[in-house]
Structure 1
Amino acid sequence: MNGNLDEAYFFLREGEFEKARHLFSQLLDQNPDNLDWINSYFIASYWDNKIDHLMSLREGKDRGKAILRYLDDFENEIINRRIPREEAYTATLQCVLEEASHHLGISFRLEGWNGVDGETLRGLVICFIRLGNFAKALELLEYSGNLDHQSSDLSFLRAECLIGVGRLDEGKELYKRAFLDDPTRFRSENIIWEPIKIHLERLRRSGVDQEYISHLLPVSCQLAGVFANSIPATNSDLDYYLNQLQRLQDSKNNIQGKFANKLNLKIVMIGSVVLEKFSDKVYPQEISFVRKILADSKEAINDLLLL
């Protein structure tokens, strides 16, 4: 039985999904209640069902982008079915990412930067990140600086790359700014950095409403010092943060429910950044203002902050 199982995992790593599916089916005939084999059978079947369509597409950009679209659907299924990311998942993911990066790389080599659209660039960067090749992913992102591909989601990817190549302070600062810009652009499946993964898993286990996680995650990390770094903030940063806090504070009377909770989480995030980066000895009035509205918001969402 162990031989069949090892062989099934081997076939997943090699992209032989039909053979893997057949072996997991045989294993389930012997033990129909084995949850690992049930999940592995689903994983093999999912990709086996996509092969004919993928092989009908032209090599390069068309096939690479289709693989990434299927991968997004696959990740959603893994989350919805609560399938553990164990050997069948990791073996399959390695195979799929390598295949996607191969085809997107063909597109990049043939068409150059003039032929690179935002989706292709993002897809190739994600493949390299998830395969652990942070230097190559960062190189692509930095070369893209002259193109119209910059967005919040690319900031998260670049932050992950910076940390992956050892530029920790830059990566932490960029992570923080990306979350401040738009936390909803965060995609957990593209994250390798362990501190964020730890906080994310804790929040998921807490049972908090899924809608809150992207807003609560950066606050949890910020309050725990995950984003702390030695990069100095500027007076322009302080002015920006104070304006944001005043705007959010002025909006409090006009919203309620989940929107109010998200607003208060935003205030806590910005306020805690200000207290971390700026001294009350240098900015006594500004810090006093921040502490007051920060305390009010923390009290309003105390239950969420305790998760």
Structure 2
Amino acid sequence: MNRQPLRLAILEATRILEQAGVASPRNDAELIAAHVLGIDRGRLPLTPLVDPPVVESMRRVVEQRAKRVPLQHLTGWAALGDITVDVGAGVFVPRPETELLLEWGLKLLKGREYPVVVDLCTGSGALALAVARARPDAVVYAVDNDPTALAWARHNADARAEAGDTPVRLYSGDVTDPTVFAELDGLVDLVLCNPPYVPEGTEVPREVSDHDPPQAVFAPGGGLAVIRHVVGMAARLLKPGGGVAMEHDDTHGGAVPELLRARKVLTDVRDHQDLAGRARFATALRG
């Protein structure tokens, strides 16, 4: 059995993915190779030659990725902060841009002992679980209204608890319900949210349109319907000095800060860009 250079297999995978219109073909080709080999991506240079079955396994995964199946569905996981969570059909895949929102939240919590954190529209549970990992002393609550997403979140929360992380308190609820987490009014240090915010009718990549649950992506009211409720929840949940950070569409760089400023109890409203320079999330503090 003639062994083959892994470098050539990655180059071929990159070519196929580029032709298919995948946004980051080289990145995805390397991650697919690492997945098939069962190693970290950084160890790929230490594996110069591979057996033909490995090349064939890579080819099959690359074929699926070329059909625009999300890479995370093919590998079965997505990363956020210092953790990975399992993802698949029926749950929104965490995005790298959300790292910046997480960083802002963790920075706000510095110097606070036993902070109370709420993650709204938790989906896979990634944000809540990343906070619990970074801050073992935190009391973290998470909520979603979708049963499939909650099943994924429960699975991921159980896995993180087994790994020794602080358990997250997971609930079924809708952010449009004014009674959700009413017992926490005025007690929360940090509210995080990555809600559905893409305006209905917006053209999105096939990875999103074909695989992400629509209710986790799109929102009526120009994409602001859910965000309006999240702003109201944050205003009542936060304690003085607490903060809220919520992701939004790149067309909402003016609208979401305006909604936050409309709440007199919220101050220091700011909008933040992602690494590509697009308006991505807004923050505010409770006065």
**Which TM-score applies when normalising by structure 2?**
0.26
Structure that is richer in strand per residue: 2
**Which TM-score applies when normalising by structure 1?**
0.25
Q: Which has the larger radius of gyration?
A: 1
